[in-house]
Amino acid sequence: MSSTDNGLLTADNCAVIFIDYQPQMFFGVASSDRQDLLNNLLILAKAAKIFRVPVVITALESTSFSGNVAPQLLDIFPDHTPLERSSMNAWDSAAMLDAVRGTGRRNLVIAALWSEVCLVMPALQALNDGYAVYAVIDASGGTSTIAHDAAIRRIEQAGAVSLTALQVLLEFQRDWAFREHYDEVMEVVREHCGAYGQGVEYAATMVHRAPPHRRHDQSK
């Protein structure tokens, strides 16, 4: 990172990689609630979309084993085609490496299913290749809590940094005086961030006397 980043992730210094968000992989997750996992995935994806951060989406054996990438993720990035591969390690894929290099970014924010395989292997190799790796632990999941925790410890010991999806969103926003993406960020908070989102709604309606917030025109 440059000195002006002050050690923080910004929309201009990182890329986000989504690895194997497919039905068969979701089925195997036992380290966290799957709905919470999906929710955190969408926070991360919307953060990348809002702040125009380059993304890479990969898929493992879609037609023969894992199924199609989650439609909720594809809907956020309709112009992205998942990069198919056969290796459990996405870093083995030439298309994946080309896509990562094509972003021009050296800081990689990675989320994956499963943590102990599809997160660990590319994270370790990316570190070895000189990238900085940031693992989004609440948008990643393993086949057990033990497996997930061991995976995170392993990559942290190798030099990766753990963070959450909400951390990424708020780090990109950084300052509430920055108004360009303020409304979009607040929409994500309201929709996906539980009590925090309810607090935002309360402050808007009770403190600032805003009308009740509605995501869509219900008359349509």
Catalytic residues: 118
> Which candidate, 68, 128, 56, places its Cα nearest to that of 93?
56
Distances (CA, A) of 131 to 53, 74, 125, 180: 17, 26, 9, 29
Biggest CA-to-CA distance, the chain:
54
Q: At what angle do helices 165-173 and 34-50 cross, to 10 degrees?
A: 20
For residue 146, what are the contacts with CB-CB under 8 A and spacing of at least 6?
none
> Which candidate, 101, 65, 104, places its Cα nearest to that of 85?
65
Helices (H) and strands (E) in the chain, counts: 9, 6
Q: Where are the alpha helices (DSSP H) in the chain?
A: 23-28, 34-50, 71-76, 94-103, 120-128, 145-158, 165-173, 182-192, 194-202
- Per the CB < 8 A criterion, the answer to whether 60 and 88 are in contact is yes
CB environment 27-46: b (16+ within 10 A), e (fewer): ebbbbbeeeebbbbbbbbbb
